[in-house]
């Protein structure tokens, strides 16, 4: 049975908690998921950038996806990020996500090497054909992965790979995002991955936001999305200001996210090396800044 498109609304790329030995802390992971469900986050993405997925082994990523499916108990949707440096391992994770019954798959463009448009297409074709019953989202993050998906490639993928249903653009270029929107069909979602552009992206036709900051402060994102779709632009603008203030103190940084989560009562451990944890003075400063935050 084919799954419905999960790529809309607020999607939280959930943090991966670690214990003192830098192993996955599944108890903390479950508590974080319960918090996000209680805050009405409709969808999680596991093993993505914010979840330090590319610093995990393939087996760890499988166990993380299994835990997310188990802990959510189908109360909300789960998207599994599958890209690895190796295409073989990417397809292994794709097969695993399909067996788990994940609601969607996300795959960042092939990275590190300088790939041609044809090579990137072949990668996505392999992902899509490995899991033909599951909606797939392209993930464009040129700042990290070096490759930017152009309109010509997106159109080719949409026209030839029917289960590719979305693209996430972690790119501050709104002109490119709008190009994606103009190419997309009605059943294809364009998602924004830059929290500072949540409201502008929605006004250009984006279907939702993938937000690392929503791990800590999901409410402004949920409220902005609902206000926008209810025609309440004043509230939506105020929420965007709150989101910008959150970004200013959390710096879109995994290390800051993890400390902020602990300050908010959900310890998730340190990042995995080579990402360094915050120092004592940074933690103290962040605690003060969070206490001063005024959110809607």
pLDDT tens per residue, range 120-139: 999 999 999 999 999 999 99
DSSP collapsed to 3 states, 162-197:
CCEEEEEECCCCHHHHHHHHHHCCCCCEEEECCHHH
Instruction: Give the rounded distance of the alpha carbon of 116 from its chain centre.
Output: 25
Q: Mean pLDDT, to the nearest integer, of 31-39?
A: 98
Task: Choose which CATH entry (1.10.3720.10, 3.20.20.70, 3.90.1200.10, 3.90.1150.10) describes domain 9-219.
Answer: 3.20.20.70
What would the pLDDT profile of 189-218 be if each residue is shown by its tens digit?
999 999 999 999 999 999 999 999 999 999
168 classed as catalytic: yes
Mean pLDDT value across the chain: 97
User: What's the pLDDT at 1?
Assistant: 53
Residue pointed to by tokens 């794709």: 94
Question: Per-residue pLDDT averaged across 70-85, rounded?
Answer: 98
Known catalytic membership, residue 251: no
Q: What residue spans define the domains of the chain?
A: 9-219
Q: Which of 139, 147, 180, 228 is catalytic?
A: 139
User: pLDDT value at position 244?
Assistant: 97
pLDDT-based confidence at 2, cuts 50/70/90?
Answer: low
- In angstroms, the first-to-last Cα distance of the chain is 40
* Backbone angles phi and psi of 68, in degrees to 5: -65, -45
pLDDT class of 253 with cuts at 50, 70, 90:
very high
Could you say which of 62, 77, 165, 168 is catalytic? 168
Per residue in 17-33, pLDDT (tens digit) is 999 999 999 999 999 99
């Amino acid at each position: 049975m084919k799954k419905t498109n999960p790529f809309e609304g607020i999607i939280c790329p959930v943090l991966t908690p670690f214990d003192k030995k830098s192993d996955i802390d599944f108890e903390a992971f479950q508590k974080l998921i319960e918090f996000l469900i209680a805050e009405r986050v409709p969808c999680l993405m596991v093993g993505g950038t914010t979840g330090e997925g590319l610093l995990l082994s393939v087996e760890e990523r499988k166990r993380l996806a299994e835990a997310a499916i188990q802990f959510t108990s189908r109360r909300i949707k789960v998207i599994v990020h599958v890209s690895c440096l190796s295409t073989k391992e990417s397809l292994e994770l794709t097969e695993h996500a399909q067996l788990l019954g994940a609601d969607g798959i996300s795959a960042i463009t092939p990275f590190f090497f300088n790939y041609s448009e044809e090579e990137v297409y072949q990668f996505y074709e392999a992902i899509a054909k490995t899991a033909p019953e599951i909606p797939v989202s392209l993930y464009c993050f040129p700042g990290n992965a070096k490759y930017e998906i152009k309109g010509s490639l997106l159109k080719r993928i949409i026209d030839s790979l029917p289960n590719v249903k979305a693209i996430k653009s972690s790119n501050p270029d709104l002109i490119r995002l709008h190009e994606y929107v103009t190419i997309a069909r009605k059943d294809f979602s364009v998602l924004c991955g830059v929290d500072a552009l949540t409201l502008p992206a929605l006004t250009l036709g984006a279907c939702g936001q993938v937000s690392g900051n929503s791990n800590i402060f999901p409410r402004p994102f949920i409220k902005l999305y609902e206000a926008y779709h209810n025609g309440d632009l004043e509230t939506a603008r105020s929420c965007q200001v709150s989101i910008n203030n959150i970004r200013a103190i959390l710096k879109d940084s995994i290390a800051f996210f993890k400390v902020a989560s602990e300050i908010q009562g959900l310890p998730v451990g340190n990042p995995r090396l080579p990402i360094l944890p915050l120092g004592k003075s940074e933690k103290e400063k962040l605690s003060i800044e969070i206490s001063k935050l005024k959110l809607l």
